[in-house]
Amino acid sequence: MVTAVRTLDEGAWVNVNNTRIVGVSDIWPLVDHDVCDCDTALFLVEVFTDIGVDGPWVEARAAGQCIGCGERGATGWLRIGRADGDEFRSIDYEGGQRPSNARFSD
Ligand SMILES: [Zn+2]
């Protein structure tokens, strides 16, 4: 079970159960988003503004910039991973399955 989620270093990291699972400077391809007019925003994460837990899901909101068009903005709640027993698994969406989803670049 996820027992603790928080951000570290003023929003530079998302920390789940004392493990840093995702940091800023990742680029998230986002679909169905409000960041800009791109069908798929290439969203450069600059800061995590909120983090929360919804059942097994760990969700976060982030602010940053679409590197495709230059628009700045903030995401809604994005599922960034889920607890699977004692393990935490990061999301690796192929895109398009659900609103406001994210998948992580390699
Ligand atoms: Zn864009």
Residue ranges covered by each domain of the chain: 5-102
Ligand 1 center to 38 CA (angstroms): 4
Task: Band the pLDDT of 1: cuts 50, 70, 90.
Answer: low
Tokens 């230059």 map to which residue? 70
Ligand 1 center to 51 CA (angstroms): 23
Ligand 1 center to 73 CA (angstroms): 10
pLDDT top residue among 78 and 64: 64
On the question of pLDDT at 96 being above 50, the answer is: no
Task: Report the pLDDT value the prediction gives residue 92, as an integer from 0 to 100.
Answer: 61
> 27: burial class by Cβ within 10 Å (0-12, 13-18, 19+)?
middle
Q: pLDDT > 90: what percent of the chain?
A: 30
On the question of pLDDT at 51 being above 70, the answer is: yes
pLDDT top residue among 33 and 69: 69
Ligand 1 center to 40 CA (angstroms): 7
Nearest alpha-carbon partner for 78 in 31, 11, 44:
31
Q: pLDDT > 70: what percent of the chain?
A: 82
- For 84, phi then psi, to 5°, come to -130, 90
Ligand 1 center to 30 CA (angstroms): 10
Ligand 1 center to 71 CA (angstroms): 6
